[in-house]
Structure 1
Amino acid sequence: MCDLPGLTVSRFLLVLSRSRGAMRFIRNVEDDNGDLVELIYYCSWLCFSTESDAAVASLTGGAWPCLDSELTLPAVCRGCGRPVGASDSIEVELELHSSAHGASTDLAERYFGSGFRERGRMARTPKVPVTPSLLSWARELSGYSLTDIAKRVGVKDATRVAAWEAGDDQPTLAQVRKLAASYGRTPAFFFLKTPPPSDLPKEPDFRGLTVRGSLSPKLRREMRLAAERRASYIELHGADDFRLAELGVSLDQPETAARVVRDALGVSIREQFEARDNSWAYSLWLSAIENSGVLVFQMSRVPLAETRGFSIFEPESPVIVLNGADVPQAKSFTLFHELGHLLESSGGICGWTDDAAERRCNAFAADALMPGAEFLHELGDRDPIEAISDLASRFRVSREAAAVRLKVLGRLEQQDLDRIRQETADWVAENRQRASDREGGPPHHLIHLRNLGQRYVEAVLDAYQDDRITFADAAFYLDAKVPTIQRMEQALQDRNAS
């Protein structure tokens, strides 16, 4: 053990943990109530007598060891250049992430020592020597401009951010945290020596978008999160075979492909008709597709105008991500549309282009949800326009989807379809405005559970209950605090019991 002034390292042990591609040191301990506490240490060297900038401690060997290894005091202060003497202090900033509310300074001092000071009382705002190339790499991959980041971090203009990325200046630790939050990284990520390979899923076709650069930062982040969650799921549970791929269907014959896939999913037309509402029908399809080896997530804060969903093809545990802002009947259609992409061994972003792949996937989704024979049987001799709402309710699809199906089957004119589409768009806009005017909404834990997906959440909770991961690990995988995790677990139990 090393013996440094002002720091008693024998009181704690830092263990290595991966955090979304970056490294951090953590120590899991318990407070007086037995609640788990996660300690994250940020070490910086700071001259005692100067207002100079601080530098994060360099570790011997350039590795990320436990603190059994020695920390090396630099010869000069990296802020002012003054030689570092034996009387100079080492300031260590400590974050507490606790399952109990209000983790106290006393608890920090027990594991850290009496020299601990709350960050709010620190006199200095030291800068930290992040790797400049990582700042520019993360910003460009996230799709932000320099001006965007300047606003998010709270600096006056983009030249300050440009200086950080050029290595001419350094951000403070508080600013690093804001950068990390904007890019979906951890603060420790920016201390890596070189940028890692891109972790944005590489899709063969960004459908509905003119160029890759037109992806919004929010959508890029959701794509990264989906890929990360898939990797975490496989780490905890193992990869699932995509069993529907074994059917060998071709979307060049969408009606046949849809019939074969429906049979494999095991949801009959009668069950579809008997679903008590659109949400129930969507849940039937969601459960059946998840059970076929597909991970289904949802996303928030991405406008429907940008995309209703996207898919990431992998031979095992492929991914579909739906836009949580959509209504259940529209989600059902997007679910099958993206499933069509996966059956073609491709991924994509659902848009409104009219290319061949999108047409095949739309035809497949329509045939799966509204089989032609059954759809025409339900129509009977009725006037198609007057029957649209009833057909949409019967098959648990949107009015627009029912109208398009009638047009494809030769029972509706294009001008009538155009009018119905406009009516539907007006109705959706009006209802969204009403929803935005209403206060409240679904509880946070249900939104979080929806976005993570039942299959993923259960994989994490199973790993924790089997003692394969700690509760801190579970909180990290679920990106949630203790009360949210407990409520999600109870919601799953209630759902499985119903």
Structure 2
Amino acid sequence: MARVSINPNVLRWAIADAGVELAEISEETHKPLSLVEGWLSGEVEPHGGDLKVIAQVVGRSPLFFSLKNPPIRSLPSASFRKPIGRDAHERPLSSVEQKFLRLAERQQKIAVWAAEKQGEDLLKLPPLHLSDEETAEAARIWLQWSPDEQVRASSKAGAFSALRNRVESRGVMVSLQDMGTDSCRGFSIPSSLIPMIVVNKSFKLGSVRSYTLLHELAHLIRGEEAVCDSPDDRTEKWCDKFAAVFLMPEDHLRRYSDKWLKKSWFEANDIDSVRRISKRYKASYHAVAIRLKELGMAGQDLVDAVRRGQLELPESGGGGGEPQTTPVIRLRQYGAVFTRLITTSVEHGDINPLDGQKYLDVARSEFLEMSSRVRRAE
């Protein structure tokens, strides 16, 4: 196969941006490391087949490497502050967060490449309105979601699963990653084709995961990229409010409070009412406290009390359920959107089957089962 003229500066940028080691490029192309270094220095040009492999590894089109200059941007701009209950001053991303951010960007690039090959349309997110109330209502309409679905859900974990499925059904890629409890609860990366949300599964509460998912959806609606937990700046507060409003519309919540709690005001020590509202709407204690405050039904002291304490307990596990096989675990980790794009690309011959298995971290039989599961769910 003929050699292809590329810009070695762009090649170096793409490899670094994807967080890929040169040894991995050597392994995937089956070429010695010295030759890979020659490609990077510009001393020798890669063959077309090698460039195609490199493009798949770093999540770029082969034509990308012909650009005159590398893109200016590498990691997304990140607004990050420490988790609830800790010092809320800004801090830089930790090495763990940087690792998962690069991993997510690489995964998103592969997904965008696959979506472009498959001719998918641009994704139209719900419109951003002046108020969080109007934006949350637009998001509910977009997702065809009702708070009654949360009330009917058997658990907070079940509500998160249903909400995640609905978000993914609209084309947003949602990934669950184990980043540790010292890391952020989630982050988002916008895209006109495949926007992405990553939820940190180290936080086990289903209500916290739902809140994180909606908080990051708010960032995407605003057209922003962020790595955050619960910082104090205006944007983060707006996204917090959006999540709380989405989960607990005013009329729905007031009717419940009047009929069953017989209250229109909640004191700072009224954690039992917070617990009951949380259980009904499958919302986090934090979301409940924020919502009550915004509706003039509680003060900042209730929000502070919830924020300071570790009050919300995990739901008791119930045994049984689906066996946790590798395909089940990987599908939950990578999500339906990424899995569908990769398996379809393999079926169309756009991605080598071995690369498809690598992207989903499964063996051949497991890859086929994941493909079958995604098809059945469509």
Q: Tell me if both proteins adopt one fold, taking TM over 0.5 as the criterion.
A: yes
Q: Give the number of the structure whose alpha-carbon radius of gyration is greater.
A: 1
| Equivalence for 1:271 | 149
Deviation readout 1:332-363 (Å, 9 max, x if unpaired): 11111111111111111122321110111111
2:125 aligns with 244
1:255-266 pair list within 5 angstroms: 255-266=133-144
Pick from 68, 73, 79: which aligns with 1:206?
79
Q: Distance in 2 between matches of 1:306 and 1:288?
A: 26
Go from structure 1 to structure 2 and tell me whether the alpha carbon gap of 1:25 and 1:420 turns closer, same or farther (over 3 Å shift). Answer: closer
Partner of 1:345: 223
Distance 1:338 1:63, change over 3 A: same
Matches within 5 A, 1:306-321: 306-321=183-198
Structure 2 Cα separation of the partners of residues 274 and 452 of structure 1? 27
Give the distance between the partners of 1:271 and 1:466, measured in 2 at CA.
Answer: 37
Write the letter of the residue equivalent to 2:338.
Y
Q: How does 1:53-452 map to 2 (within 5 A)?
A: 62-65=44-47, 200-203=74-77, 205-208=78-81, 214-238=92-116, 240-245=121-126, 247=127, 249-250=128-129, 252-300=130-178, 302-326=179-203, 327-380=205-258, 382=261, 383=263, 384=266, 385=270, 386-423=272-309, 425=310, 443-452=325-334
Contact 2:136 2:245 in 1 (8 A): yes
Q: Are 2:186 and 2:227, in contact at CA under 8 Å, matched by a contact in 1?
A: yes
TM-score, normalisation: structure 1: 0.56
Relative to 1, partners in 2 of residues 1:62 and 1:241: Cα closer, same or farther, differing over 3 Å? same
Q: Which whole-Å CA distance do the structure 1 matches of 2:199 and 2:160 have between them?
A: 12
Q: Secondary structure at the match of 2:125?
A: helix
Contact 2:189 2:224 in 1 (8 A): yes
CA distance in 2, matches of 1:414, 1:43: 59
CA RMSD, 1 decimal: 3.7
| In 2, Cα distance between equivalents of 1:279 and 1:255 | 25
Deviation, 1:416, is: 4.1
**Aligned partners of 1:415 and 1:485: how far apart in 2?**
51
**What CA distance in whole angstroms lies between the structure 2 residues aligned with 1:43 and 1:315?**
36
Structure 2 stretches of 5 or more lacking a match?
2-13, 51-56, 59-68, 83-88, 318-322
Give the aligned length.
320
AA matched with 2:353: F
- What CA deviation, in whole Å up to 9, does each residue of 1:378-428 have, x standing for no partner? 1115255343222212211123322332233232344444444444x1555
Partner of 2:32: 42
Quick one: percent identity of the two aligned structures? 25
Task: For residue 473 of structure 1, report the CA deviation from its aligned partner.
Answer: 2.1
Give 1:453's aligned residue.
335
Q: Are residues 1:475 and 2:352 paired? A: no
- Structure-2 change in CA distance of 1:355 and 1:240 (3 Å): farther
Q: Do 1:232 and 1:477's aligned partners in 2 also have CA atoms closer than 8 Å?
A: no
8 Å Cα contact 1:240-1:317 kept in structure 2: no
Distance 1:281 1:325 in 2: 18
Distance (whole Å) between structure 2 residues aligned to residue 443 and residue 426 of structure 1:
33
Distance 1:465 1:291 in 2: 21
* Cα shift at 1:457: 0.6
Partner-residue secondary structure (3-state), 2:197: strand
One-letter amino acid of the counterpart of residue 262, structure 1: R
- Give the secondary structure class of the aligned counterpart of 1:297: strand
User: Against the structure 1 CA distance between its residues 493 and 225, is the aligned structure 2 distance closer, same or farther, given a 3 Å change threshold?
Assistant: same
Question: What is the one-letter code of the residue matched to 1:376?
Answer: R
Q: Tell me, yes or no, if the aligned pair for 1:294 and 1:318 is still in contact at 8 Å.
A: yes
Q: How many angstroms apart in 2 are the aligned matches of 1:206 and 1:263?
A: 29
Residue in structure 1 matched with residue 347 of structure 2 by the alignment: 465
Q: Which structure exhibits the higher relative contact order, with contacts defined as CA atoms closer than 8 Å and separated by 6 or more residues?
A: 2
Distance of 2:284 and 2:25 partners within structure 1? 47
The offset of 1:462, in angstroms, is: 1.3
Per-residue deviation, 1:228: 1.4
Q: TM-score, normalised by structure 2?
A: 0.72
Amino acid corresponding to residue 339 of structure 1 in structure 2: L
SS at match of 1:244: coil
Deviations 1:318-337 (A, max 9, x none): 22111112222111111111
Q: CA deviation at 1:274?
A: 1.8
Instruction: Please state how far the C-alpha of 1:443 moved relative to its aligned partner.
Output: 4.7
Higher helix share: 2
Distance 1:337 1:419 in 2: 21
- The question of whether the paired residues in 1 share the 8 Å contact of 2:190 and 2:220 is answered with yes
The amino acid of 1:267's aligned partner reads W
8 A contact 1:201–1:312 mirrored in 2: no
Whether contact under 8 Å (2:26, 2:36) holds in the other structure is no
Letter matched to residue 62 of structure 1: V
- Counterpart of 1:285 in structure 2: which amino acid? L
Unaligned runs of 5+ in 1: 2-17, 27-37, 45-54, 69-183, 186-194, 436-440
Are the counterparts in 1 of residues 243 and 287 from structure 2 also a CA contact under 8 Å? no
Would you say the 8 A contact 1:298–1:321 is kept in 2? yes
Which structure features the higher share of strand residues?
1
Secondary structure of residue in 2 paired with 1:310 = strand
